[in-house]
């Protein structure tokens, strides 16, 4: 935890407490079945078919604008959206998504982007005084100041406002405070998947060396910063078909530029793999060729299990520091301001770039009582950001 503020636990809650089912995960299939799916939106918005747009794509923004308008109409048919608020954790991805949504909706907007660190509390307003401003802060508690900033700019958060809340490392696992718990769940899922497929051939030390090396930013052009791709690469390295040093050297010397080239190389040698690994390879290879951004389904199903396993599992009386280190918790400041804005009439909607397979249980798991990530209860942790106590 990098925040210098006083952290407290504010009971247990679920993201659904303030967002309901107004959420889309990576596949852009709304959890609320009253809202249209991606294919229907494509037709009505005039978007090209094929592929699922990513968060920073203009097409993604067009889909979200359509869903926001439909969602607002369901809750309040007499009111149209006239402005946008965005709450996220990364200036590049979330800032770009915010700008694209404003552009697609022809709305003015205000975005709050936070990531806590050990530096003194600071803020920066980008494009202050314009119709679309970014409010950057290194404390999540600065959401209170952001609300004041909006009021100063005569930017009203009311029935005509859509509030978009990022889930990953914003509403859950706040960046700079609790994000490591999310990362640990993902790494555990990669390990469990690779170990399960390799069996006795699995080498934990070799796995960590490969994962830790290739998970760095300098390899993003190769891995596309895609955890499915990284998990697959670790699996192939663990099989012995290729070794880490060779792959690293090929990437750094520009002989191996993209993941697609790597999986093509593997496909040419697939006959050398044990039968089970060959079957997994062909499954993933086929999905990659079809453009599926999450082709390693076994890994993502494990990620759901490791993520849900880190939510709300710790005792209520444990120190806050332990919760933030080990459990994925709700960001209290986001929870509180979202509830406040909803009471003011705003329409709230959640975005997650986490794949659906890593966020929603299979039918078999649901029958056992497993819940989607946004409906699972966990501890709410944060600073007391506002003067008005919520019930």
340: tokens are 């406040």
Domain ranges of the chain: 8-177+329-382, 179-305
Q: Is the pLDDT of residue 349 over 50?
A: yes
| Cβ-Cβ contacts under 8 Å for 67 (sequence gap 6 or more) | 24, 30, 35, 36, 41, 349
Task: Give the span between the Cα atoms of 64 and 150, in whole angstroms.
Answer: 23
Average pLDDT over residues 181-202: 97
Average of pLDDT values for 77-89?
97
What mean pLDDT is predicted for residues 51-68?
A: 94
Res. 5 pLDDT band, cuts 50 70 90: low
Band of residue 81 on the pLDDT scale cut at 50, 70, 90: very high
pLDDT band for 388, please (50, 70, 90 cuts).
very low
Name the helix (H) or strand (E) containing 231: helix 227-239
pLDDT at 384 over 80: no
Mean pLDDT on 355-367: 96
* Residue 220 and residue 229 in contact, taking contact as beta carbons nearer than 8 Å: no
Which one, of 248, 80, 46, lies nearest residue 160 by Cα? 80
Per-residue pLDDT, 44: 84
**Closest among 349, 373, 350, 369 to 360, alpha carbons compared:** 373
pLDDT at 385: 55
Residue 111 has pLDDT above 90, yes or no: yes
Residue 4 has pLDDT above 70, yes or no: no
Cα–Cα distance between 95 and 60 in angstroms, integer? 14
Question: Does 38 score more than 60 pLDDT?
Answer: yes
| pTM of the model as a whole | 0.93
């Amino acid at each position: 935890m990098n925040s210098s503020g006083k952290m407290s636990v504010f009971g247990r809650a679920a993201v659904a407490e303030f967002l309901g089912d107004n959420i889309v995960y990576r596949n852009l299939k709304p959890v609320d079945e009253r809202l249209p799916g991606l294919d229907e939106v494509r037709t009505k918005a005039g978007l090209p078919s094929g592929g699922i747009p990513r968060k920073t794509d203009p097409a993604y923004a067009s889909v979200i604008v359509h869903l926001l308008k439909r969602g607002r109409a369901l809750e309040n048919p007499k009111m149209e959206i006239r402005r946008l608020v965005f709450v996220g954790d990364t200036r590049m991805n979330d800032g770009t998504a915010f700008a694209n949504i404003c552009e697609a909706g022809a709305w003015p907007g205000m975005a709050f982007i936070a990531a806590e660190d050990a530096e003194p509390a600071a803020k920066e307003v980008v494009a202050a005084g314009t119709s679309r401003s970014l409010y950057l802060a290194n404390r999540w508690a600065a959401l209170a100041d952001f609300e004041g900033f909006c009021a100063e700019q005569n930017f009203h958060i009311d029935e005509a406002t859509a509030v978009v809340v990022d889930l990953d490392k914003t509403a859950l696992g706040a960046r700079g405070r609790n994000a490591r718990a999310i990362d640990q769940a993902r790494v555990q899922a990669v390990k469990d998947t690779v170990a399960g497929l390799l069996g006795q051939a699995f080498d934990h030390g070799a796995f960590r060396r490969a994962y830790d090396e290739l998970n760095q930013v300098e390899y993003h052009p190769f891995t596309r910063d895609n955890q499915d791709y990284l998990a697959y690469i670790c699996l192939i390295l663990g099989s012995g078909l290729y070794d880490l040093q060779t792959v690293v050297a090929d990437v750094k010397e520009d002989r191996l530029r993209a993941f697609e080239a790597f999986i093509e190389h593997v496909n040419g040698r697939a006959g050398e793999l044990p039968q089970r690994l060959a079957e997994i390879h062909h499954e993933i290879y086929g999905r990659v060729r079809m453009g599926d951004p999450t082709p390693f389904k076994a890994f993502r199903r494990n990620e759901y299990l490791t993520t849900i396993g880190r939510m709300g599992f710790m005792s209520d009386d444990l120190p806050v520091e332990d919760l933030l280190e080990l459990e994925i918790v709700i960001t209290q400041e986001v929870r509180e301001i979202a509830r406040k804005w909803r009471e003011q009439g705003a329409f709230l909607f959640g975005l997650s770039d986490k794949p659906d397979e890593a966020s929603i249980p299979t039918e078999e798991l649901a029958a056992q009582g497993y819940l989607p990530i946004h409906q699972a209860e966990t501890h709410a942790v944060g600073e007391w950001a506002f003067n008005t106590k919520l019930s």
